[in-house]
């Protein structure tokens, strides 16, 4: 204009004082060029400003002088025209396929990452949920199996499990013939209320004990009496909760302890023999894997107070119940370390130790080395000499027993014939139980020797110490699966204390 610069006229329609008109002004072309230069800095491609006829008004970049937009059909594959509003001009930009591709790839990558993140969050939350439910289900299953394994020992018993509503979800085979509990046995509460073998007082007592057990105590023990045809039988009931949260399901073990109820006033034995304590000792050994076994439970078996039980037990065995339990558990664990390949933690559990650390500490204290070191050392000491034996078949026999040698003559007076047998606990010649055939069945303490195949081991022909022979026999014949990780059945006849000929080993 007056400055002599190329300029652009810009006119804009306006309305002023109800009159319509046009407001015109000018813009130096250099200002427009400066805008183009800034854009060129960001976008490294050729740039053109053209009018309606395709004439190039301004250009930036490495411009081809021969190019003309008069005959170019815009937009096309190489150029893109952007009209400028309210003008006859257009900005023409040279397309950059690589730039577009990179931008698209960038956005695609971002979207893929966001999608992957969402998928991972979904998987993670589902994994946590499934894992939590799986753990709960696994724990519940393991707990039920553990409780069943702990409660249902060799002692005859009836085992059932109930959910939190006391609906019976598992029942052992013995339950089918357990008084009238099988009839209508869908719910234990209803079964108790409808039983014709329980008095009203016993029903009320039973239901009250269940209510206490459902609060989540680990183990609880109580007694219930069933009356059938004027015969009263007393049962020890052990309950344990199932599940991690209240209300709990419950497992029940019914054990007949009627024979344990002999009163001392009804003695049919000599001054040395106490069938109640003898039976109690057998019960302890048969239930040694129950880490809930304690004075309280043992007292419930006989209906005595804990104080009276402790006094009876101490007078008869010269040790208290807790010491006897601990000692026998350690003896059984030592045997399993020698003759089974189970892990130390599994052996601890099978021997009634609730915590592996407690077992290791006590074992190290009593035997002078850790369980693992003991196992490594003892196995190298078993003799390599072959065992002299023959396989024989023996019937199942039921024997009255005593843990005190003072009662041997008493057992002889009660037997129906044959020798006094000496049972060896945990394969140990120093741990003996004396047994005899009972001719009148008046003795309440007894064990059963299994019928079937036995090894008759020739002691004289081996020319080895009896301890080594027993170790060799256990190494060959002891099968943890056959005995369910209990002690093997081993005995010899007490025909002559100084002349032991054979040892018999159940195989």
Domain containing 69 equals 7-95
- Please report which confidence band the pLDDT of residue 352 belongs to, taking 50, 70 and 90 as the band edges: confident
Residue 124 inside a domain? The answer is no
User: Does pLDDT of 327 surpass 90?
Assistant: yes
Pair 360, 437 in one domain = no
Question: What SS3 state is found at 33?
Answer: helix
Nearest to 494 by CA among 389, 376, 364, 402: 402
Three-state secondary structure string covering 474-492: HHHHCCHHHHCCCCCCEEE
Give strand ranges (E) for 188-331. 220-228, 231-242, 249-256
Pair 245, 272 in one domain = no
Top-confidence residue, 47 or 192: 192
Domain end, chosen from 256, 274, 294, is at 256
Q: Which residue has the tokens 């601890």?
A: 348
- Kindly report the CATH number assigned to the domain that includes residue 486: 3.20.80
pTM score of the predicted model: 0.59
Question: What SS3 state is found at 28?
Answer: strand
- Kindly report the CATH number assigned to the domain that includes residue 313: 1.10.10.60
Pair 174, 89 in one domain = no
User: Does pLDDT of 105 surpass 80?
Assistant: no
Helices (H) and strands (E) in the chain, counts: 14, 19
Domain end, chosen from 228, 256, 284, is at 256
Residue 250 inside a domain? The answer is yes
Instruction: Render pLDDT for 294-311 as a digit per residue (tens, 0 to 9).
Output: 888 888 876 678 888 888
Pair 389, 477 in one domain = yes
Instruction: Render pLDDT for 373-430 as a digit per residue (tens, 0 to 9).
Output: 999 888 778 888 888 999 999 998 888 888 888 888 888 777 766 788 899 999 898 8
Top-confidence residue, 48 or 201: 201
Helix pair 295-302, 306-317: axis angle to 10 deg = 90
Pair 292, 372 in one domain = yes
- If one counts the domains in the chain, the total is 4
Residue 133 inside a domain? The answer is no
Which residues neighbour 282 within 8 Å (Cβ) at sequence distance 6 or greater?
401, 445, 446, 447
DSSP 8-state symbol, 438: B
User: Does pLDDT of 151 surpass 90?
Assistant: no
Residue 415 inside a domain? The answer is yes
Top-confidence residue, 141 or 480: 480
Pair 338, 411 in one domain = no
The mean predicted confidence, pLDDT, of the chain is 79
Looking at residue 256, its pLDDT comes to 81
Alpha helices in 235-305 (DSSP H): 275-286, 295-302
Token pair listed for 444:
């309440």
- Please report which confidence band the pLDDT of residue 83 belongs to, taking 50, 70 and 90 as the band edges: confident
Residue 126 inside a domain? The answer is no
């Amino acid at each position: 204009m007056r400055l002599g610069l190329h300029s652009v006229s810009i006119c804009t329609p306006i309305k002023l004082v109800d009159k319509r008109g046009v407001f015109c002004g000018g813009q130096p072309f250099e200002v427009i060029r400066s805008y183009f230069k800034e854009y060129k800095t960001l976008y490294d491609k050729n740039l053109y400003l053209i009018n309606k006829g395709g004439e190039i008004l301004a250009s930036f970049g490495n411009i081809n002088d021969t190019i003309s937009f008069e005959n170019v059909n815009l937009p096309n594959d190489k150029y893109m025209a952007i009209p400028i509003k309210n003008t006859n001009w257009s900005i023409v930009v040279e397309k950059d396929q690589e730039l577009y591709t990179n931008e698209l790839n960038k956005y695609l990558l971002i979207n893929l990452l966001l999608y992957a993140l969402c998928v991972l969050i979904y998987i993670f939350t589902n994994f946590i949920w499934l894992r939590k439910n799986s753990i709960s289900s696994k724990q519940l299953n393991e707990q039920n199996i553990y409780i069943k394994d702990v409660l249902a020992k060799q002692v005859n018993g009836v085992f059932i499990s109930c959910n939190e509503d006391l609906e019976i979800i598992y029942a052992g085979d013995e339950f089918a013939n357990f008084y009238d509990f099988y009839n209508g046995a869908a719910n234990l509460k209803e079964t108790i209320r409808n039983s014709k073998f329980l008095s009203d007082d016993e029903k009320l007592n039973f239901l009250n004990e269940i209510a206490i057990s459902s609060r989540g105590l680990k183990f609880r023990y109580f007694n219930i009496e069933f009356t059938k045809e004027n015969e009263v039988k007393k049962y020890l009931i052990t309950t344990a909760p199932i599940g991690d949260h209240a209300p709990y399901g419950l497992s029940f073990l019914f054990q007949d302890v009627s024979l344990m109820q002999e009163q001392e006033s009804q003695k049919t034995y000599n001054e040395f023999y106490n069938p109640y304590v003898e039976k109690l000792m057998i019960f302890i050994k048969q239930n040694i894997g129950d880490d809930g076994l304690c004075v309280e439970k043992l007292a419930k078996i006989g209906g005595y107070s804990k104080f009276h039980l402790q006094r009876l037990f101490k007078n008869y065995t010269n040790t208290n119940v807790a010491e006897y339990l601990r000692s026998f558990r350690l003896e059984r664990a030592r045997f399993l370390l020698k003759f089974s390949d189970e892990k130390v933690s599994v052996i601890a559990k099978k021997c009634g130790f609730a915590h592996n650390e407690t077992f290791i500490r006590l074992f190290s204290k009593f035997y002078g080395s850790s369980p693992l070191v003991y196992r490594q050392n003892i196995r190298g000491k078993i003799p390599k000499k072959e065992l002299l034996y023959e396989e024989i078949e023996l019937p199942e026999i039921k024997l009255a027993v005593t843990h005190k040698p003072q009662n041997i003559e008493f057992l002889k007076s009660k037997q129906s014939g044959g020798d006094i047998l000496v049972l060896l606990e945990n394969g140990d010649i120093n741990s003996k139980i004396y047994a005899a055939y009972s001719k009148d069945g008046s003795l309440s303490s007894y064990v059963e020797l299994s019928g079937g195949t036995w090894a008759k081991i020739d002691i004289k022909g081996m020319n080895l110490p009896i301890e080594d022979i027993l170790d060799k026999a256990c190494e060959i014949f002891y099968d943890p699966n056959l005995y369910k990780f209990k002690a093997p059945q081993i005995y010899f006849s007490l025909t002559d204390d100084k002349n032991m000929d054979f040892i018999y080993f159940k195989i």
